[in-house]
Every structure is written in C-alpha cells, then in structure tokens.
Amino acid sequence: MDTQIQVNGQPVNAELALPENGSGPGVLVLHAWWGLNSFFKDLCEQLAAQGYVVLAPDLYGGRVATTIEQAEEYLNASDPQQIGDTVMAARDFLLAHPACESKSLGVIGFSMGAAWSLVAAAREPQKIGAVVMFYGAYEVEFNKMSAPVLGHFSPEDEWEPYEQIQTLEQTMRNAGVTVTFHSYPGNKHWFAETNRPEYNPDDARLAWQRTFEFLREHVK
C-alpha cells in the first residue's frame, strides 16, 4: 500500500506491506537505481507474506527508469544527502510503526540500495539487525557495524568486479563483521529482478531461500 514518510519536513512516498496477522518483525527494502518500480513494490508484498512488516522508500522522488541510460541519468542527478536522509527516515518510520515488533530491522538492498544498506548499518548499528545485499557493495566503517551480512553476487557481474567483492568480504571479516557471500556463476547484474532480461529464476529462487533463512535467524 502507498504511504508517506517525512524527510526534512517534506513528504516522501513509500510502499508499506503488512503481514496477514497485522504485525511482525520489520524489513526495509532499498531499491536499485531504477527507482521504486513494480518489482520492488511486489517484493514488499512477498516479504509480508513471509510474516514481515515491510517498507520500501522511494529514493528517486517518483522517477522510475526503464533503461540503463535513464537509470544512470537519474543516479547522476540524485542528491546523496537526500537519499541518505530518506533511508534513515524510512528506517525510523518503520521502527516506530505500531505493526513492527522488532527492536532492529532487516534491510535488503539491491545494487545502489545495497550500498545504502551498509551505510544504514554503520550509522546507527543498534537499529539494523541484519543486512542482505544483492549484487551491490560499498565501503563504510565496518568496525561500527554489528549486523551480520548476507551477500548475493556473480563472478561474471560486469558492474561489480568479483575481485573487489572478495576483497570487500575479507575487509569486513577483518573488521569483525559476520559475513556470508554467495556466488552465482553465469549471471549478470540484476539477476534476481523478475522484470529484467538478466533475471535467472533458478538462482533467484536459491538466493531468496537463503535470504529468508537468514532473516528468520536474525530479525525477530
């Protein structure tokens, strides 16, 4: 369902989904550089069906890209400060929502959103209990994080060189982060998104199976 959160005194749209029983642990969904498109909205409902209270903030002010060229344009024109403020406002909105029963959230980020999931986990670590990254990464002060991290990547990803992902995994471990990265050979970026030509249903299904197990363990 459509909802709004307040970001620096201004309304920002978001997608909110509640489980059938009306309450549960909280999960924040951070979209890829496409914007808050139908895949991410549908994902909120799918996560709610697993028992979670789910919120996906619109980080692009209503813009939705359908091509890589558009997405690059929107990303380059975006204000990182505004996106960061929106992520943190969404986090606090979800934690304060009467349906949210958990004291910390799971956060699932895709590509660009995966980077922001790490920022959120390092900024106020007590508010994030688990991080799931789909084919996206970023460098933050990992020693400030307390959340375990699950990552889904492909060695053939043209946007995230696998050598850098392996280095990032080791950097996280060295900083004391509990991290599990899974490799999905033969895939391209966005392989878990049903509305993309890169979509791989078998590997997406496996990634979601692992994700649900991870969330059940760490977000309660």
* DSSP-assigned letters across all residues of 60-89: TTT---SSHHHHHHHHHHS-HHHHHHHHHH
Q: Which CATH architecture does the domain made up of 2-218 adopt?
A: 3-Layer(aba) Sandwich (3.40)
Bridge partner list, 56: 15
Q: Which of 35, 177, 2, 195 is nearest to 111 (CA)?
A: 35
Tens-place pLDDT, residues 149-178: 999 999 999 999 999 999 999 999 999 999
- pLDDT given at position 216: 96
- pLDDT given at position 186: 97
Per the structure block, which two tokens stand in for 29?
């969904």
For residue 3, give the H/E element and its range: strand 2-7
Quick count: other Cβ atoms within 10 Å of Cβ 36? 24
- Residue 155: what residue type? P
Segments making up each domain of the chain, as ranges: 2-218
Compute CA distances 203 → 60, 191, 207, whole Å.
28, 8, 6
Collect the ranges in the chain with pLDDT lower than 70. Answer: none
